[in-house]
Structure 1
């Protein structure tokens, strides 16, 4: 897979054999599972380190290895073009993976959510250090728009996962003296028989 130049000498996918336990043990993990990560080799080559090709596929909802690798590469692009930004690429990759996409649509949305969150955090940092009123106004609008976009993306993910259905659970009910309450599943609508 060919990738455009990012300031790295090249980007490669490196599949680590399970036999190489010393390298596999150094990969980051969440809940005991080994996760994909970007790393720099001594020659400046950026590699996507995996225990197996299936690892990246599973991390992005069981999609093809090529599709999932492309999503991981998108996360690296979020980091910028400096070789020191591999950690930022890993943070964005971590966000996308922790959303636990279940299919290709969720993988795309997870990558977009990682991009939105990363940009929002960068603009928030700039906002905290803004010196002039125009800077403050511009950055405040940018952070606000990104926060609203992230919220809309979360809602889109929820709708996609739930098929658009929304469930409401009532946790507390008060019944006054002489009142009546029904406990159980109540469905509104339907035809009444006479």
Structure 2
């Protein structure tokens, strides 16, 4: 059970706070039977924490916090220093919505667990402990970059790919043969701008030779 003063009197939706108050997320104070946001003004403290976690309401904020508290545990008890580090890392990645908040929380948790496995590996006393810690560390180390890739894909989903086909290039120009695909924010020139492409010099010479040959045959006839 989480203990936060006067939560019932506060609105469910948390609006973004002003930049002056957004400098740093408040710390979490661990209590015997829960945790509390350590801030003299509970409402401002919730706003700051919600901004740091990238969520918009109290339920989502407390849900993410509860999960981070459990993931920070060293042994059987949550670690306040470890928890502060995890919240700081979440804020530095700047999740922009609830989906990113959940994914980023997983990322920092996987990192903490990977470092824990690395410690167990360094302290292994026999081959069984060494192999167990090495396998766990390997799985977590592979998971972390996959999570980064997933976050990048999610963040770029609003920027659809643009495919350019049938590019005509005039004399002296350079072209890439095939389809060219790039993400949004690519600036394309007006497709109607500019004059039509001119024939290549070799094609012009060939046509002139054909015209001359035709004229010579007509003269002989």
TM range (shorter): 0.5 to 0.7
Q: Which has the larger radius of gyration?
A: 2
Q: How far apart are the structure 2 equivalents of 1:70 and 1:101?
A: 15
Which SS does the other structure have where 1:95 is aligned? Answer: helix
User: How far is 1:164 from its partner?
Assistant: 8.3
User: How far is 1:55 from its partner?
Assistant: 1.3
Q: Which has the higher contact order (CA 8 A, sep 6+)?
A: 1
Residue-by-residue CA offset, 1:60-108 (whole Å, 9 max, x unaligned): 224212202211221111122426x211222222222222100010000
Asked if 1:75 corresponds to 2:65, the answer is: no
Pair 59,137 (structure 1): closer, same or farther in 2 beyond 3 Å: same
Residue-by-residue CA offset, 1:130-161 (whole Å, 9 max, x unaligned): 11111111111100100111111011001111
When the two structures are superposed, what TM-score results if normalisation uses the length of structure 2? 0.58
Q: How far apart are the structure 1 equivalents of 2:91 and 2:35?
A: 19
Q: How far apart are the structure 2 equivalents of 1:125 and 1:163?
A: 37
Asked if 1:159 corresponds to 2:153, the answer is: yes
Kindly indicate whether the alpha-carbon contact (under 8 Å) linking 1:76 and 1:92 is maintained by their aligned counterparts in 2.
no
User: Where does residue 37 of structure 1 map in the other structure?
Assistant: 27
1:47 to 36, 41, 59: 36
1:97 to 91, 97, 116: 91
Q: How far apart are the structure 1 equivalents of 2:173 and 2:136?
A: 48
Kindly indicate whether the alpha-carbon contact (under 8 Å) linking 1:78 and 1:92 is maintained by their aligned counterparts in 2.
no
Asked if 1:12 corresponds to 2:3, the answer is: yes
Residue-by-residue CA offset, 1:27-59 (whole Å, 9 max, x unaligned): xxxxx8121311246x78632224432212211
Between stretches 132-141 and 156-165, larger displacement belongs to 156-165
Runs (5+) with no aligned partner, structure 2: 7-21, 162-171, 181-196, 200-221
- How many residue pairs get aligned? The number is 151
Runs (5+) with no aligned partner, structure 1: 4-10, 16-31, 168-179
Q: How far apart are the structure 1 equivalents of 2:92 and 2:5?
A: 22
Q: How far apart are the structure 1 equivalents of 2:159 and 2:128?
A: 43
Pair 57,140 (structure 1): closer, same or farther in 2 beyond 3 Å: same
CA RMSD of aligned residues (A): 3.3
Pair 47,62 (structure 1): closer, same or farther in 2 beyond 3 Å: closer
User: How far is 1:14 from its partner?
Assistant: 4.8
